[in-house]
Structure 1
Amino acid sequence: MKFTHTFLASQDVFFIQSSTQDVPSIEDRHRDTGTENYFQGNLLRQRWRDSHHPGSSHPGTHSSDSNNSNMEDEEQEPGRRAFTLHLGQALRTRQLVIDFDGERPIPRLREPLDLFAIPSTPFQGVRWPIEYEVFKEAIHHIEWDPPDPEPFYQPTGHERAPMPIGEEKGNVVYCIDPGTKTSYFTYSRVGGSRGPIKSSTSCAMHQDKSTLAFESRFESGNLQKAVQVGVHDYELTLRTDMYTTKHTQWFYFRVRNMKAGVTYRFTIVNLMKASSLYCLGMRPLLYSERAAWEKGEGWRRTGSNIRYYRNQHHQAEQDNNTTTNTKSLHSLTWTGQFPYDFDTCYLAHCYPYTYSHLQRYLSRLTSNSATGAYCKLRVLCRSLAGNAVHVLTVTSPGGGWMDRSAKRAVVVTARVHPGETNSSWMMQGFLDFLLGESDDARLLRETFVFKVVPMLNPDGVVVGNYRCSLAGRDLNRNYNTLLRDSFPCVWHTRNMVKRLMAERDVVLYCDFHGHSRKNNVFMYGCTNSDDATQRLHERVFPLMMSKNANDKFSFRSCKFRVHQSKEGTGRVVMWRLGIRNSYTMESTFGGSTLGNRKGTHFTTRDLKSLGYYLCDTLLDYCDPDPTKTSHCLAELRAMLRQELRERLGREVDSDGSLSVSISDIESSTSGSNSTESDGLPVHLLNRIDEQRQVKKKHLRSGKERNRLRQERVRNVDPKVLHRNIKNIDPVLPTEDMVKVRIQEKTVAVVREKKKREVPFVVKVSRQTGRSWIPHPTTRIGVIGHVTLWQEEESEKNEYLDAVRAAYLRTQPPVTAVQQRGFSVPVPTSKIRVHTTPIQQQPMPFSPDHRSHAGMRGGLERRNRVGRMNGTILT
């Protein structure tokens, strides 16, 4: 029996806790949360026993021994208390947790802060892209398995292959907004779009009472359009993965207003894969709410006259608004009947498993106090839309700190591809077994530390995607990414595994998937051809799995070749990190071709049983007795020799060694083209495209810049001069008034000489390298240029005489207001002259010039005004 007492270092407080539950479980559960420090002491342990069992003593001890131990503990307790207080004052941190092994303190670090515990409040609502319309009603399906296995459909060879007619000749009875008003994801909210739900039948030409009513605006639904092309025939168009033009395989929608006993035909016209399990006898799924209510029946296989074929339509695939290639489309057609009139039914590609379903399942786990002792539920990160990506840590709390640190780890993930719902059913079966009360489950929890991520792509699951996240990319091609904000789910998963590997050995990594072109269950692994000592060891675990689930798991379908196109997958990235047993376990959408289950579909019970078999195989693989592993290696060598003999046509050595690699004889059977959704996230590509569309600034030559400057001078200069003259103070010196009036008359003369003077000015501007742009002044605009006065002296005097005479002739009589010093601003001419600036100086007058009689009076009047300013004209 152990008793724990904790203290908060930052507050220097010592707490004592007691509980009636199993003490080791409480101790380890609190230690795993990393929120408190724990200490052990004989005195406290004895006090706990006394408080719960008065008068009892530990077996094999006497009261005197107890008294002695109590006295010793009382002597030691002040020292421990002082150590506790000093530790809290010195460290000032919550990141260090102290365990005591007797008297020896053992420090350890808390778990990372990004793994915060889920509160006891209900799970948060599901977040959708803001432009997506969603019905508020929740959809629940009961879990039920048929009493007998459901057989494959047997083709007759006479199945019809109707070609698409389209809405031109048909009646559109269902059509919704694709939910991608923008070319990339922007933001999200709980419940999707804020506005009211639009009618899905507003585009219908006519709506009969016998027309089926379709709907898919709920979680994981993805029907885009339904066109009635016959009385009971309907063409269906699936929505592609959001923000892409690809990936149409998964379907899930609701049907109402049906008639029982009537044969309806459904044809999906925009499937993109060239082959499908429907060619091998797979049948769609049907769920009736009335049958679930009255009979307790759930999903059933349905349909006849099933055919998967290529139609005459093509679709242009686009990447970042650029058409890359044109892809042929395929159709899936089948006929079926509904069991009841006016029922509510659902049709699906595989058993749905929504994000809300996962939240309900995890809520049941957290509410169970029994599983709470060895299972912790936390949030690994938030998805692009803000939905929580959960991670579970499962391990037994028993043993000391050294025993727990010696445990090896197992990492299991699922649902990186949202349309592969069978992987979630396998994950649920795995967790059901691991958290159960069986002896094997207890042994697994005592031996390993399990890190489980049940849903890696919640955003894609919510919106009904088949393969991509809201970044428009396949997450299982981006485990090596550095873009944490664009691919948070896989980035944090890889980071978690790296931290885990730094603490302990990871014995197994397994990622659950679904496969759309092969039956049975199988694994993809990684072969290390460089290490001869580990030859064939990566095939031992799949071989053991095939022996435990011999009617479902096919070892011959397993592949171990590492292709360059798969370097970004979780399987290869974890293998590169150092996990030797790194696999993806692929479960078919169809069924089994093995043993007594040959030719039958898988049910949810079959899928969950694969999780049980994985746990059982893990115990066999890690058995301390190496007998099973040795037998498997010997069998693998014999199988390899036989396969090489059949393919190469010659005998091999006894050890199976050849000059060829083992993986060279394997072929790839990937379920999807790995290059279709690889690359940068869509929103980054759109930003790059927007930047490319911005018009580049044209770089002009010096000659062109000079020409533009001169044009600006012609357009701007007169306005500047006019503004400056209007702003002249009403009281001006007499000399300034004279300069303004002279400037007005000078412009007219300069205009006459423009043709002769401008070439000379241009020549000067070429020599200096730039032309002059006049600057606005607060007083008088200067129009002089030194080159304009490179004339003979006689021409200059003649010019000045003419200016003076013209000026004096136009002067009005001086008023009393002007004599007191007031002047009216004189507007300047709007004639533009291209000149360069010179220093402002008074206009020179010739002393030899004689004025006529009319001019004399003008000068005398001006001198009377000028005396007030100290300026006299002669």
Structure 2
Amino acid sequence: MQISAQFDSGNIHVIEADTPNNIILEINKDNQSDFFQWFHFKLNNNVRAEHIMTIRNAGKSAFVDGWENYQALASYDREHWFRVPTEFDGENLTITFTPDHDSVYFAYFTPYSYERHQDLLHQAQLDVDCQLQVLGQTIDGRDMSVLKVGEEGENKKVIWLTARQHPGETMAEWFMEGFIDRLLDEDDGVARALLNKAVFYLVPNMNPDGSVRGNLRTNAAGANLNREWATPSMETSPEVYLVRNKMLETGVDMFLDIHGDEALPYNFVAGCEGIPSYDERHHSLEESFKDILLAITPEFQDEFGYDKDEAGQANLTLGATWVGEQFKCLSYTIEMPFKDNDLLPDHSVGWSDNRSSLFGRDVLTAIYHIVDELR
């Protein structure tokens, strides 16, 4: 029996693995940080017996509520992922599984590899409407890439989307894959109409270093990028520094920052109610966008989510609130679940890579219906 995490986004530490029913594991902390929750490892064993894998430090992880009613994901081919029996007793997360093949992968959510990220960028640039721009490099020397789709023009809106500020929230890049695929579809009327009215700047992965390292929440320097927007630096948060400077250059008429929430089993948005400049027009835009998305897809809801900030109390170190205040524009954080959408459950796969991608495609329709109202 062998357990390994020596691959892209791998994360696990083996304490003990002497028999299939006694596998003791721990999740490694993010580099230079106390955050941890993301796991991704491979089990090799030709014994077709029940394997009991216990992650013994789950009760000390970043978001303990995330383990309640959570089911881990497994895959034999790294393409098709399914949920497996998982229990949490307040301290230990126990995965119970009898493999049908010699090798099986387990992960906190369907991984989105750095190789696939590169494919996404370089296939997109082949489209006549798309340019692949490199803003600079990360701490580990990886490119900070943005896809520019469409061209600026008089009265055209500037729309930005970013994803995976928190690298373990892989559903965010699956969302972006679906969004980009539809936006570049020349036979899609919604996409064609939007590109007549707007230019898009898309960052599918804001945190490539953290993604490869198998971090949950931080970059190579241990910085939580979604707390860096007020005063980013090239030393600790070059990812935000570079993207923020590009935004100041282009302007922003709409911003969506794509995330995943560990605990809440719903899709929802978090707005800018607490920023100093929040007014009735901003409120009207937020409500319109939510109403449109509610009409488009049953995967979205607005009953469950985060508490709204009191007036003037927004945390302006967050991407969505900093952008909303800086550019006085519609600016939302979109959150998806790690577990399932409880309003539309799928007991086999839960919330998944495919559902995230389809949700991204749906959001393009919502943007189409609100683009004329943005300015």
Q: TM-score, normalised by structure 2?
A: 0.91
Helix, strand or coil at the partner of 2:68 = helix
Name the residue aligned to 1:356: 115
| Structure number, greater radius of gyration | 1
Summarize the alignment of residues 463-612 of structure 1 with structure 2, pairs less than 5 Å apart.
Answer: 463-501=213-251, 506-527=252-273, 533-534=280-281, 536-537=283-284, 538-550=286-298, 552-559=299-306, 560-561=308-309, 564=313, 566-595=315-344, 601-612=350-361
Higher relative contact order (CA 8 A, sep 6+): 2
CA separation of 1:455/1:509 partners in 2, compared to 1, >3 Å: closer, same or farther?
A: same
Q: Name the aligned partner's letter for residue 44 of structure 2.
A: R
Name the residue aligned to 1:248: 36
Summarize the alignment of residues 229-248 of structure 1 with structure 2, pairs less than 5 Å apart.
Answer: 232-244=21-33, 246-248=34-36
Work out the CA distance in 2 between the residues paired with 1:415 and 1:346. Answer: 22
How far off its partner does 1:363 sit?
A: 2.3
Work out the CA distance in 1 between the residues paired with 2:362 and 2:38. Answer: 27
2:132 pairs with 1:377 = yes
Is the Cα contact below 8 Å between 1:229 and 1:235 reproduced in 2?
no
Work out the CA distance in 2 between the residues paired with 1:359 and 1:614. Answer: 23
Count matched residues: 367
CA separation of 1:395/1:605 partners in 2, compared to 1, >3 Å: closer, same or farther?
A: same
CA separation of 1:580/1:535 partners in 2, compared to 1, >3 Å: closer, same or farther?
A: closer
Work out the CA distance in 2 between the residues paired with 1:581 and 1:535. Answer: 7
CA separation of 1:599/1:309 partners in 2, compared to 1, >3 Å: closer, same or farther?
A: same
Name the residue aligned to 1:275: 64
Summarize the alignment of residues 30-45 of structure 1 with structure 2, pairs less than 5 Å apart.
Answer: none
How far off its partner does 1:450 sit?
A: 0.2
Summarize the alignment of residues 628-639 of structure 1 with structure 2, pairs less than 5 Å apart.
Answer: none
Select 1:301's aligned residue among 83, 93, 111: 83
CA separation of 1:564/1:240 partners in 2, compared to 1, >3 Å: closer, same or farther?
A: farther
Helix, strand or coil at the partner of 1:218 = coil
How far off its partner does 1:264 sit?
A: 1.0
CA separation of 1:482/1:416 partners in 2, compared to 1, >3 Å: closer, same or farther?
A: closer
**Deviates further, 575-584 or 470-479:** 575-584
Work out the CA distance in 2 between the residues paired with 1:598 and 1:237. Answer: 26
Q: Name the aligned partner's letter for residue 264 of structure 1.
A: H
- Structure (1/2) with the larger helix percentage: 1
Name the residue aligned to 1:192: none
> RMSD of aligned C-alpha atoms?
2.4
How far off its partner does 1:608 sit?
A: 0.4
Work out the CA distance in 2 between the residues paired with 1:253 and 1:598. Answer: 23
Is the Cα contact below 8 Å between 1:510 and 1:582 reproduced in 2?
yes
Name the residue aligned to 2:146: 391
After superposition, give the CA deviation of every residue in 1:366-407 in whole Å (9 maximum; x if it has no partner).
Answer: 3x3xx1x210001012001110011111015xxxxxx81321
How far off its partner does 1:607 sit?
A: 0.6
Helix, strand or coil at the partner of 2:180 = helix
Work out the CA distance in 1 between the residues paired with 2:39 and 2:98. Answer: 18
2:93 pairs with 1:332 = yes
Select 2:368's aligned residue among 619, 642, 659: 619
Structure 1 unaligned runs (5+)?
A: 1-211, 311-329, 397-402, 627-874
2:17 pairs with 1:228 = yes
Q: Name the aligned partner's letter for residue 536 of structure 1.
A: H
CA separation of 1:558/1:546 partners in 2, compared to 1, >3 Å: closer, same or farther?
A: farther
Name the residue aligned to 1:816: none
Name the residue aligned to 1:424: 173
Is the Cα contact below 8 Å between 1:591 and 1:599 reproduced in 2?
no
Q: Name the aligned partner's letter for residue 248 of structure 1.
A: F
Helix, strand or coil at the partner of 1:228 = strand
After superposition, give the CA deviation of every residue in 1:666-722 in whole Å (9 maximum; x if it has no partner).
Answer: xxxxxxxxxxxxxxxxxxxxxxxxxxxxxxxxxxxxxxxxxxxxxxxxxxxxxxxxx
How far off its partner does 1:609 sit?
A: 0.9
Work out the CA distance in 1 between the residues paired with 2:232 and 2:371. Answer: 34
How far off its partner does 1:565 sit?
A: 7.3
- Structure (1/2) with the larger strand percentage: 2
